[in-house]
Amino acid sequence: MIEVNDIHKSFGDTHILKGVSTKFEKGKTNLIIGQSGSGKTVFLKCLLGLFSPEQGKIKYDGKDYSKLSASEQRNLRQEMGMVFQGSALFDSMTVEGNVMFPLTMFTKQSKSEMQDRVDFVLKRVNLVDAHHKYPSEISGGMQKRVAIARAIVMKPKYLFCDEPNSGLDPKTAILIDNLIHEITQEYDITTVINTHDMNSVMEIGEKIIFLKNGHKEWEGSNKEIFKTDNEAVTDFVYSSELFKKVRQMYIEERN
């Protein structure tokens, strides 16, 4: 579980996060939604310890990040996996090299143990014949799968994903969403996903935080989000014509 208590983050004079508090539970896919520029990535990077908030606390299963020593912080980070928006695969390494990298850096496993683990996670993300390809030689959807494999290879307690399905076609996007959702449940991970994709919200939004201008505007589940009266949320949720129509039909049916 991750508890976030009133965090603030500014760059120079611009105040980006203006006091966000929430809780992310274990074994659940937690979604952060909001328009581009609403501070989702900055929020996620605070959770990852890449940015340090000027004010507020973040606790990981009770451990306050800012109170840990540098080496304890490094240990905690090894319990985190991250899937970046652009995948952020090391382009000088093969698919296999990318996934194996954290193992070679941080474990004393033998070559064959590492190879087994790599084969296992690559199979888990449904990638079987790309081991020796380079990131530039595979599709965006496959790159995302490799990024997920790399993020879970160390068996993390916390998994963070920044817009995991941006740049993917809707069908692949749903496959990736479901993959993350299954992995979260299977390994009982605390997962936090940034997205602005309403498909993700409907499919896997067990808990949703709506960010607007650096504030938490609303929080709830994917069942609640379609019924809320909060105007900022409905504006965002029903921004597409398709969803507007669906809502219209829903209201007509109710009356």
Ligand X SMILES: Nc1ncnc2c1ncn2[C@@H]1O[C@H](COP(=O)(O)OP(=O)(O)O)[C@@H](O)[C@H]1O
Footprint on this chain of other proteins (rule: CB under 8 A): 45, 48, 50, 74-75, 77-78, 80-82, 84-86, 88-91, 101-102, 105-106
User: By CB under 6 A, is residue 13 in contact with ligand X?
Assistant: no
Residue 171 CB contacts under 8 Å (≥ 6 apart), including other chains: none
Nearer to other proteins, 160 or 218 (CB): 160
AA letter at 254: R
Nearer to other proteins, 153 or 173 (CB): 153
DSSP track, 175-243: HHHHHHHHHHHHTT-EEEEEE--HHHHHHH-SEEEEEETTEEEEEE-TTTTTT---HHHHHHHT-SHHH
Instruction: From 87, 86, 120, 88, select the one nearest 103 (Cα to Cα).
Output: 120
User: By CB under 6 A, is residue 39 in contact with ligand X?
Assistant: yes
Single residue of 29, 38, 41, 143 touching Mg ion by CB under 5 A = 41
Nearer to ligand X, 107 or 166 (CB): 166
User: By CB under 6 A, is residue 16 in contact with ligand X?
Assistant: yes
Nearer to other proteins, 29 or 98 (CB): 98
Single residue of 6, 37, 170, 239 touching ligand X by CB under 6 A = 37
> At closest approach, how far in Å is the CB of 19 from ligand X?
15
SS3 label, residue 195: strand
Q: What does 131 bind: ligand X, Mg ion, other proteins, none (CB cut-off 5 to 8 Å by kind)?
A: none
E runs forming strands in 34-182: 55-60, 63-64, 80-83, 158-162
User: By CB under 6 A, is residue 41 in contact with ligand X?
Assistant: yes
Single residue of 29, 30, 38, 190 touching ligand X by CB under 6 A = 38
> At closest approach, how far in Å is the CB of 47 from ligand X?
12
Task: Give me the helices (H) in 107-229, please.
Answer: 111-124, 140-152, 170-186, 198-204
Taking the C-alpha atoms of residue 78 and residue 231, their distance in angstroms, rounded to an integer, is 40
Q: Footprint of Mg ion on this chain (CB under 5 A)?
A: 41
